[in-house]
Structure 1
Amino acid sequence: MSAESAESAGTQAPDAGARGVRLVPGLLVLTVVSGLIDAVSYLGLGHVFTANMTGNVVVLGFAAAGAPGFSVPHTLTSLVSFLVGAVAGGRVAVRLGGGSRRTWARSTFAAEAVLLGVSAAVAFAAPHATATAYALIAVTAFAMGLRNATVRKLGVADLTTTVLTMTLTGLASDSRAGGGAGTHSPRRTASVAAMLAGAALGAWLVLHHGLGIPLLVTAVAVAVLAVTVSGRE
């Protein structure tokens, strides 16, 4: 093949890893999912977070001090499961991070979708069993740890998908009012809005439909991303 033909072929066959939904809107969808997950865990599983570990550390302090409505075993289950998931995410990043970003992201999101689907099935099958609470906490926290490790390694600015403290800090301190250029304000604002929307939707679903429906919604949303997301920001 001549150089001209090779160049023409390269022009006609763009990088397959660039096809699909960009990472930024994909991570915003995952931020909505995080709001849903924490609504399920906090409102339905005994005041514990399975996506927001900052809140969990504080909750653990409350529980250790004997504050009513909080559980040390529940919170420790969430923290340990999240850390194990993050370790798994780190291992996946080492294995897949040097290749296609699309393959890496899709593989991790597919695993998260399966875990959330299992959680939904458990919630539908035995919604009131004590073991169900621990199972849902452990599985959803593991899934969030796996995802957080992946998102961190992907390195998309201002989209952690689970915590907003630094996002809000950056939104305020880098704004024009804070003396900055405000260049990342749309992305940061969208991240806050996504978390708020997910939490509101999750709370409504938990209060009116139990735990299975919101978990099923999260599984479907992440599964869609697993087959559509690209490696582009």
Structure 2
Amino acid sequence: MPAPIDRASAHAWTALVLTALAGAVDGAGFLALGQQFVANQTGNAVLLAVAVSGEVTGRGDGLSAVGPLWSLAGFALGAVAASLATRRHVLTSFGVPVLLVAEVVLLASAGLAGSAEPAIGLAAVAMGVQSIHAARIGLAGVTTTVLTGTLIALSVNLSGSREDLRSARLQAGVWAVYLAGAGLGSVLAHEVSFSAVCWSAAGVAALMAAAGFVEDRRLRSRA
């Protein structure tokens, strides 16, 4: 009986940490990579549309479509690849910890990239993989890279039942840690570098992957 409670709690903490990582990488990327989003693809789509409309009308304000295209393509590639892998049960079940290993490699690679476009693309691939990780966890109304849906779910749950209010606490926490992560990532990118943010995020993801494998092994031994 205690295992489902442990698992739910672990998933909630995983969602919070992943959201903080997404916020940190997004904040750092926006500051250090020419004001590009690598996690928040809604904002990235707006940047792409503004850049394209500026090119078409000849009234551009210096925005380029190159960065947003790298980000969108990378995010989609990471999400599709991670979705296919987990759908075919190639990876382990609990929290899909192997996806975190992939995220570690991708974030570290983004930190080593020598120019902005590859860094944007690799970080976006990592965020696409992370989004599938969050989806496989299956917490209703919670994502780690898109917060508009989480805000809508939070608004609905605030007027709901006691169970809904418990979900609202997690959703509010997701918003809080994303903002905190974005602020911290921006400061670190300004004071050190975007690479430092990527390597720090990769280190945290590596610890989470190790914890996920340990928990997966513990649950399998109980089965």
Class of the TM-score when normalised by the shorter of the 2 chains: 0.7 to 0.9
Q: Deviations over 1:36-60 (max 9, x none)?
A: 1111221111121111111111111
Three-state SS of the structure 2 residue aligned to 1:101 is coil
Residue 40 (str. 1) matches residue 32 (str. 2): no
- Deviation of residue 200 (structure 1)? 0.6
Three-state SS of the structure 1 residue aligned to 2:96 is helix
Q: What residue identity is the alignment partner of 1:101? A: S
Q: Deviations over 1:61-101 (max 9, x none)?
A: 1111224242201111111111111110111112327x742
Residues 40 and 206 of structure 1 are in contact (CA less than 8 Å); yes or no, is this contact kept in structure 2? yes
- Deviation of residue 149 (structure 1)? 2.2
Q: What is aligned with 1:80?
A: 73
- Deviation of residue 225 (structure 1)? 0.5
Q: CA RMSD in A?
A: 2.5
- Deviation of residue 109 (structure 1)? 0.3
Residues 96 and 136 of structure 2 are in contact (CA less than 8 Å); yes or no, is this contact kept in structure 1? no
Q: Deviations over 1:101-141 (max 9, x none)?
A: 22x6110001101111122233xxx4xxxxx1011011011
Q: What is aligned with 1:170?
A: 153
Distance 1:198 1:164 in 2: 13
Q: What is aligned with 2:181?
A: 198
Distance 2:209 2:62 in 1: 36
Q: What residue identity is the alignment partner of 1:143? A: A
Residues 158 and 187 of structure 1 are in contact (CA less than 8 Å); yes or no, is this contact kept in structure 2? no
Q: Which moved more, 1:205-214 or 1:195-204?
A: 205-214
Residue 101 (str. 1) matches residue 93 (str. 2): yes
Residues 115 and 140 of structure 1 are in contact (CA less than 8 Å); yes or no, is this contact kept in structure 2? yes
Residue 225 (str. 1) matches residue 218 (str. 2): no
Residues 47 and 69 of structure 1 are in contact (CA less than 8 Å); yes or no, is this contact kept in structure 2? no
Could you state the TM-score of these two structures normalised by the residue count of structure 1? 0.80
Distance 1:192 1:158 in 2: 12
Q: What residue identity is the alignment partner of 1:75? A: P
Higher helix fraction (1 or 2): 2
Distance 2:64 2:96 in 1: 34
Residues 48 and 70 of structure 1 are in contact (CA less than 8 Å); yes or no, is this contact kept in structure 2? no
Q: Deviations over 1:201-233 (max 9, x none)?
A: 00111111121211111110111101002469x
Q: What is aligned with 1:143?
A: 126
Distance 2:77 2:112 in 1: 22
Residues 18 and 130 of structure 2 are in contact (CA less than 8 Å); yes or no, is this contact kept in structure 1? no
Q: Computing the radius of gyration over CA atoms, which structure comes out larger, 1 or 2?
A: 1
Query: Higher relative contact order by CA 8 Å / sep ≥ 6: 1 or 2?
Result: 1
Q: What residue identity is the alignment partner of 1:73? A: V
Structure 1 consecutive aligned stretches of length 4 or more whose deviation exceeds 6 Å: none
Distance 1:170 1:27 in 2: 15
Q: How high is the sequence identity, in percent, across the aligned residues?
A: 32
Paired residue for 1:31, among 19, 36, 40?
19
Q: What residue identity is the alignment partner of 1:161? A: T
Paired residue for 2:167, among 164, 176, 184?
184
